[in-house]
Amino acid sequence: MSESSQPYKTYSEVKLQQQQLLRKNVIDAACILLVEEGPEAVTVRRVAQKLSCSTKIIYSIFGSKDGLANEMYLDGCRLLAETFEQVPVTKNVLADLEALCWAYWEFARLHSAYYKMMFGGALSDFKPDEQSLEGTTTALSRILQTVIHAMEQGALKEQDPLLVVRMLWSALHGVIHLQFAGHFLTVDMAQEVYAFTLKNTLDVCKSSSSPA
Residue 168 has pLDDT above 90, yes or no: yes
pLDDT digits (tens, 9 = 90+) for 125-140: 788 888 888 999 999 9
pLDDT digits (tens, 9 = 90+) for 35-81: 888 878 889 999 999 999 999 999 999 988 888 888 888 888 999 99
CB-based contacts of 97-106 (< 8 A; 24+ apart in sequence): 97/143, 97/146, 97/147, 97/150, 97/202, 98/198, 98/202, 100/142, 100/143, 100/146, 101/143, 101/168, 101/172, 101/198, 102/198, 104/80, 104/172, 105/172, 105/176, 105/191, 105/194
> Could you tell me the pLDDT band of residue 204, with boundaries at 50, 70 and 90?
very high
Rg (CA), the chain: 21
The whole-model pTM stands at 0.82
